[in-house]
Chains A and B, each alone.
Chain A
């Protein structure tokens, strides 16, 4: 089994990073994870965001969190992106692949992927 000693090694490696991380993130990615979201496929969407944000090295800036039902169950999986000083962006009917695109274009590139947003997507 993957040993707890390995976990200890992770802790030692991460010690310095954690201090840096606190309080610096100003972008929040919030994935709807109520019954409606989960049934529509939110679990792989969430995990895709977590993975992509880390792979793109955006962890200092971006936090990925979960929330309950937003009230738009028919548009799930739903992802909201909050950024200090900007209007909230709501992406609907998300997939793991779309999550990857949002991380690259929106979170990294700064351009909203309008075709996935609640206003544009059909």
Chain B
């Protein structure tokens, strides 16, 4: 993966498959460090599966026997001196607070740090592909932040699908505008 934003798109897809109705994508950046949190309220994983997901020879798909999504993100984190941890609760373990939280940290100053890349396209693509579920995106850079909450959008849009082209364009513009403001204030 050439950009972390592509790993985010890939791994957030797991949350969608876990039946989450809310997936949070939180990026916290300081000058030296980037912390990525992907949290969902999906079905969660048993301890056994939780241990297995970082193994490339574990996968949920049926077309082949390798699953590289989480291992690739783990590699991206570890190759720059960061780490990746996953915590998960199934609905059996916790009927009200089930789901999975993935936290990956990256050392931005390391030569092998993968740049974040086009995170706006990632959010746009997630909403385009899964208009029925909610995403919360928060990207903090120092004291400033870029946010998008599809629950707020849904309240305004009512039954108009979130993947209507005009809405997807609005998402793109809204995020780009916020990024353009950063550093100006």
Contact = CB atoms under 8 A, between A and B. Distances in A.
Interface of A: 1-2, 4, 6-8, 10-11, 13-15, 18, 33-36, 38-39, 43-44, 46-47, 50, 54, 59, 64-66, 68-71, 73
Nearest to A8: B156
Q: Is the interface of A mostly helix, strand, loop or mixed?
A: helix
Contacts of A68: 13, 61
Contacts of B121: 43-44, 47
Contact of B166 (A4, A10, A34): A10
A50 B168 contact: yes
B133 interface: no
B170 A10 contact: yes
B160 A69 contact: no
Q: Is the interface of B mostly helix, strand, loop or mixed?
A: helix
A39 B128 CA distance: 19
Contact of B129 (A7, A15, A33, A36): A33
A58 to B, nearest CB: 11
Contacts of A64: 128
B165 A2 contact: no
A2 B173 contact: yes
B158 interface: yes
B80 interface: no
A59 B156 contact: no
Interface residues of B, number: 38
Interface stretch (B43-51, B62-70, B92-100): B62-70
B129 A66 contact: yes
A54 B167 CA distance: 12
Contacts of A13: 166
A1 B144 CA distance: 13
Contacts of A71: 63-64
A47 B118 CA distance: 13
Contacts of B181: 1
The 3 closest A-B pairs by CB, nearest first: A2-B174, A71-B63, A66-B129
A113 B167 CA distance: 30
A1 B174 contact: yes
Contacts of B168: 50
Nearest to A50: B128
B75 interface: no
Contacts of A50: 128, 165, 168
Given A11-B157, A66-B129, A35 B68 contact: yes
A35 B72 contact: yes
